[in-house]
Structure 1
Amino acid sequence: MTNQRDPNGVVDVAFVGRANIDLTVQVPRRASPGRTSFASSLTASPGGKSLNQAIAAARRGGRSCLIANVGDDSWGHQVAAALTGAGVDTRHVTLLPQTTTGAAIIEVTPDGESYITLALSPATELTTDDIRRATDGLDAQAVVVQLDLPPQPVTALLNRRPAPIIIGNLVPHRELDNALLRHLDVLVVNQHEAAAILNTTTDDPLTAAAELRQLGPSTVVVTAGGHGAAYIDSHGAGSVPAPAVSVVDTTGAGDAFLGSLALDLARGIPLPDVVTTAVHVGAQAVRHAGAQAS
């Protein structure tokens, strides 16, 4: 499958990770132990962090591609169609025969909070060979990789450095060598993920960003939901407050943030401006139901 957005395959950002189907229900409250909670009708829509990020970058006018595997089933074809429809280059999206596409089970409560359980499809996890094939000749200004992928493909990608800017997202896989974080130009995590990496309870995103930078990444950005985001690099540090908005669904807000951030970094925009725009993009995302509706 190839999107013809650029016939030469040139992209601003390549996103490396997972794509799946989001199975979402609106619930008045989460069920207590031994009880049943009635929900809205079930919706099934394409999702997955890397897919959401690639679509976010494309919708901001960027050239993005996704490197991921899905099953050659109805869900996998639904994922592929959504990517193509959004203008994402799908030449590195592989539909694997006799394989089930993964799913995320999402409960959204009236306050807009989303509770997500990911049902992985192990057969669709990227391999080292997948990374080598996809990055050979890759022409991208930036690459975003999910650090919670199996350690072998992540290690291969970080050692290859297939783009001038390498951005890591999420808590690294428990078997990933933390020394590899020095290969990251940018690490982007939310407050909860930062606390897990640092094994701390700090609630100050700026402090967390500074401590994470000591692990090796040149630049660190820590998001804080409705409180905005903090950033630090060799030029300085700062915080960006989030605008006040009515929250409908937080699903995918962090992905909208990261898709925007990666695109603007690829375009050479200064970090403070990049983070400011990304915060506003994330704030707009929570005003709509679903991961990509905004």
Structure 2
Amino acid sequence: MTGNGNPSDSIDVAFVGRANIDLTIRVPHRSRPGRTAVGSSLSSSAGGKSLNQAIAAARRGGRAALIANVGVDAWGQQIAAALIGAGVDTRHVRAIPGTTTGAAIIEVTPDGESYITLALSPATELTANDIHQATTGLATRAVVAQLDLPPEPVAALLGQRRAPVVIGNLIPHPDLDPAVLRHLDVLVVNQHEAAAILHTSIDSPLDAATALQRLGPRTVVVTAGPHGAAYTHPHGSGTVPAPAVQVIDTTGAGDAFLGSLALGLARHTPLPDAITAAVHAGSDTVQHAGAVLT
């Protein structure tokens, strides 16, 4: 897929993961066994955590690139148009013939909470070869890896150290060697993901960050929704509160947070300041419908 970007241009952040179509319906409540919930009309939009994060970074003035695969279909075309429209570098978004683009089915309840089911397209999953091809010669200040990808591309990405700042996100794939977490400069997860990784629930986001740091990452950030975020790194730890806002849709809050945080770190913003800006980016996003601000 051709698109934005000159091969000689440097990138602030390269986001490595998935791009899919979000199929969203607003419902009065989630359906119960044997019953039907009637919701709004179905809307479709470009989505996927890496795509959302790349667009969030680009919307904040960053030079963002996406490394992902899509199918050669109408959804793949819709994704390409959204990325190009947002100014994201699409040189490494590969369209694979003969396959369909993945989708996420999203239910949004009146309190703004989102319930997401991902319909993977196995043929569009990144491979280690995709990573080698995309990152060879790529000049980027930071890279964000979705750790729930198959272990081979994640290991290929983290093992070659193509960027000064390497950020990991999401629960690692169950087959991923835990030792690769030592290659991360920053691990960013929400409280639910932290509990899944630690196999126990910790009430304090700061305590969860401290426990996760023992697994190897130099810095850990744990987001806590309306309660902001907590962090720990070699030079200290702390918490950042979130402003009180009206919540419309939480779907893209974490992605807006990470897109902003990655851009801040790529531009050498001190960690507490980068997290503060990221918390406000997430808070801005939940006040609007959809995964990204338009």
TM-score where L is the length of structure 1: 0.99
Match for 2:164: what amino acid?
Answer: P
Match for 2:59: what amino acid?
Answer: R
Residue in 2 that maps onto 1:91: 91
Match for 1:54: what amino acid?
Answer: A
Task: Give 1:6 shift.
Answer: 4.7
1:107/1:115 contact within 8 Å kept: yes
How many pairs align?
294
- Report whether the alignment pairs 1:220 with 2:220: yes
Q: Secondary structure at the match of 1:188?
A: strand
Deviations 1:121-161 (A, max 9, x none): 00000001000000101100000000000000100111001
Aligned pairs for 1:77-116 within 5 A:
77-116=77-116
Aligned pairs for 1:250-265 within 5 A:
250-265=250-265
Aligned pairs for 1:1-294 within 5 A:
1-6=1-6, 8-293=8-293
2:70/2:100 contact within 8 Å kept: yes
Q: Secondary structure at the match of 1:174?
A: coil
Q: Secondary structure at the match of 2:12?
A: strand
Match for 1:215: what amino acid?
Answer: L
1:5/1:63 contact within 8 Å kept: no
2:4/2:91 contact within 8 Å kept: no
Unaligned runs of 5+ in 1: none
Match for 1:56: what amino acid?
Answer: A
Match for 1:266: what amino acid?
Answer: A
Task: Give 1:2 shift.
Answer: 3.7
Task: Give 1:230 shift.
Answer: 0.3
Q: Secondary structure at the match of 2:46?
A: strand
Unaligned runs of 5+ in 2: none
Provide the rounded CA distance (Å) in 2 between the counterparts of 1:116 and 1:243. 25
1:3/1:87 contact within 8 Å kept: no
Match for 1:63: what amino acid?
Answer: R
1:56/1:256 contact within 8 Å kept: yes
Task: Give 1:8 shift.
Answer: 1.8
Provide the rounded CA distance (Å) in 1 between the counterparts of 2:189 and 2:140. 22
Match for 2:256: what amino acid?
Answer: A
TM-score where L is the length of structure 2: 0.99
Deviations 1:225-269 (A, max 9, x none): 010000110110000010000000000110000000000000000
1:131/1:157 contact within 8 Å kept: yes
Match for 2:46: what amino acid?
Answer: P
Task: Give 1:5 shift.
Answer: 4.7
Provide the rounded CA distance (Å) in 2 between the counterparts of 1:7 and 1:122. 29
Deviations 1:25-64 (A, max 9, x none): 0000001101000010000100000000000000000000
| Structure 1 segments (4+ residues) deviating >3 Å | 1-7
1:17/1:145 contact within 8 Å kept: yes
Provide the rounded CA distance (Å) in 2 between the counterparts of 1:32 and 1:2. 45
Task: Give 1:7 shift.
Answer: 5.5
- Alpha-carbon RMSD across the aligned residues, in angstroms, is 0.9
